[in-house]
Structure 1
């Protein structure tokens, strides 16, 4: 069964069971707003094809016949998620519920597109192992997109096949088009990454911005579960933001959304990776912090760990840099709260290892700049290792399995 061709209610039922199950059909109807007849109609083909299963009586003490719990079958399909950084690939194999089965990291010796694609193919082979679908390198699997062909079916004499690969990259990524328009840290322009990975592995591939994919994982399995709206702000080599509004991760009409790092906050003439000045990222990214402390100390060899050590030891110049970064982040985070009014903003990324050095300034600036009731938004610090980012890629691949990507606007199609 091709889930992308099922009615939207099928996706709604499966998503609800993924994030909130097991549930009885009655509770599933209440949480989705579907009638009991609609739940039964949608559930039948999902049961027949093994995507969901009945677990038995719920144990609720209700009069009449005991209600049966329904749940997702984790073993029905497997997915691989890969995060590409400037110097490393982080990969994870997961089941349908995005539960990690195995992880692997491999260094990147070059950012050349061909080298990276070959390294991705080798990593996919390692993660597939003896029970999964091995890369063929002989063209696209099925019809070349997640949810098409036979990639999700069980192979004779093996475990479930790897249905698709979700690859995440920082920067301007056109997910539906499978193209990395621009990734500053990889120095890639117009790379048709999804097609290249499909050609190299023989497995359907989807790609997206890394923060947006991580937001999908947080929405389904992390700190965003059950929230009508939330945002995820990541601080590291760049400053990113993923947003979920009304239960949907915002993608933007042109595939660009949540570029918090490029929100202008002023107060600095430092040039950002985008070429502009005054951006949050030009002041608050880990690299920007290192460069500013290097300038203040005159030590060009100083590392981020050195900068953190100096600031924690009370070095005035280093502390000033972190305070400035905290203010820029606070302004950016307040802008997110004012624009979409989220219930929660999750702050993550490798930069939160030094959160104690700018947390006070972030919260002070946020409180000053958030408008009215937007200041009630909860700020949560949540360190997430890169393996979790890889899981985001796998969750994104699972999401694309049964939720068709958003329609592209006429303006986007013309670009």
Structure 2
């Protein structure tokens, strides 16, 4: 299992061991060393510390075919917890997750990021969760915050968020000072991608892409085993790939971005303009219109699927991933997007890219907040340059 050149050392070994046991259940030291492709001595030293900290426990010995019985090591799920927060344009949602990445509590609150005291309000919401965890005697390792926008990997500063209207906000530093606990801030799609690498079905893939399509379009990348964020945290703005020279104005200020054609916001805008939907209608209504063979709805979704397939073929040709995960609110329409998407993808892929697996997953509204919690449990892979 590759984890990126030089990345599995020190604290990264600790992260890799904990994530492996969360996914696979109890394993012996030899099995852990084999699956992580690390030396038995390295695993023995790392697991000794984890046992001392109470994060792992030895189970009863199991007979082995040859030699001494093996002693499985298991997580102690309740020994550590993390709070995960998603900040969106209209709400804040949050979870508390255990060491095994399982969510044990969730909440959702209305939120206005444009309000003058928005960050103070956010701090108050998170403080209430920290206080409740302390009352319940839950050991909290830290807080992860996922935001739409460009986040500096080193500092957790939100450089720019069109959706929130925040620019140059030292979010991690402000929350850390106010809350008095470790805080990690990341882009929302980067958080999902790091959590996938640690705990998800993509954990065994050293190279994969994750495309999330909702109001915006983001691309998470794991290359040679490690998440890739770019020098300034700006990698993955797939939605701002220019595809139409004279297309509609995008929220980023440019024209003709992929997001202006394929995001759920764009599809609803175009469907309403064409008279397919009313102002109050949503994605379910667009799905229903296509299902009853409304030709305007079918044509709109065919075009969106074709554009997405063509754009993603370019990303696959460029990066050569083993797998591409497609998720987000767009998957509610996938029945109508699938055929034009796969046709365009096949038409534009190089022969070497045709073995790439496409994994389309139904959207989970809790996923971003849960992933934010997992970047705390999964530091330093998920937030390697933030100090918490």
TM (normalized to structure 2)?
0.89
Choose the corresponding residue for 1:362, options 330, 338, 341: 341
Task: Tell me the CA shift for residue 406 of structure 1.
Answer: 4.2
Task: Tell me the CA shift for residue 285 of structure 1.
Answer: 0.7
User: What are the Cα deviations for residues 149-195 of structure 1, in whole angstroms up to 9, with x where unaligned?
Assistant: xxxxxxxxx63322211010112122421211111111111111112
Structure 2 match to 1:400: 379
Counterpart check, 1:22 vs 2:26: yes
Choose the corresponding residue for 2:117, options 106, 114, 118: 114
Structure 2 match to 1:266: 244
- Tell me if the contact between 1:121 and 1:200 (Cα under 8 Å) persists in the aligned partners: no
User: What's the RMSD between the two structures over aligned residues?
Assistant: 2.6
Structure 2 match to 1:35: 39
User: What are the Cα deviations for residues 329-380 of structure 1, in whole angstroms up to 9, with x where unaligned?
Assistant: 1122212221222221111111211111211111111111111121211111
Q: Superposed, which structure 2 residues align to 1:222-371 within 5 Å?
A: 222-266=200-244, 269-297=247-275, 301=279, 303-305=281-283, 306-371=285-350
Task: Tell me the CA shift for residue 387 of structure 1.
Answer: 0.9
Task: Tell me the CA shift for residue 303 of structure 1.
Answer: 2.9
- Tell me if the contact between 2:214 and 2:330 (Cα under 8 Å) persists in the aligned partners: yes
Choose the corresponding residue for 1:64, options 64, 67, 90: 67
Instruction: Indicate the SS of the match to 1:16.
Output: helix
- Tell me if the contact between 2:207 and 2:323 (Cα under 8 Å) persists in the aligned partners: yes
User: What are the Cα deviations for residues 22-41 of structure 1, in whole angstroms up to 9, with x where unaligned?
Assistant: 21111112122222222222
**Number of residue pairs matched by the alignment:** 379
Choose the corresponding residue for 1:82, options 85, 88, 91: 85
Structure 2 match to 1:96: 99
- Tell me if the contact between 2:16 and 2:198 (Cα under 8 Å) persists in the aligned partners: no
Structure 1 match to 2:177: 199
CA distance in 1, matches of 2:276, 2:99: 51
Choose the corresponding residue for 1:50, options 50, 54, 79: 54
Task: Tell me the CA shift for residue 66 of structure 1.
Answer: 0.5
CA distance in 1, matches of 2:154, 2:120: 19
Residue 345 to residue 257, structure 1, CA distance change in 2 (3 Å)? same
Residue 36 to residue 307, structure 1, CA distance change in 2 (3 Å)? closer
Structure 1 match to 2:150: 172
Residue 302 to residue 402, structure 1, CA distance change in 2 (3 Å)? closer
Instruction: Indicate the SS of the match to 1:68.
Output: coil
CA distance in 2, matches of 1:327, 1:87: 31
Choose the corresponding residue for 2:17, options 13, 16, 32: 13
Instruction: Indicate the SS of the match to 1:241.
Output: strand
- Tell me if the contact between 2:15 and 2:379 (Cα under 8 Å) persists in the aligned partners: no
User: What are the Cα deviations for residues 221-246 of structure 1, in whole angstroms up to 9, with x where unaligned?
Assistant: 22212222221111100011111122
TM (normalized to structure 1)?
0.84
CA distance in 1, matches of 2:79, 2:251: 42
CA distance in 1, matches of 2:232, 2:122: 29
- Tell me if the contact between 1:233 and 1:346 (Cα under 8 Å) persists in the aligned partners: yes
Structure 2 match to 1:133: 134
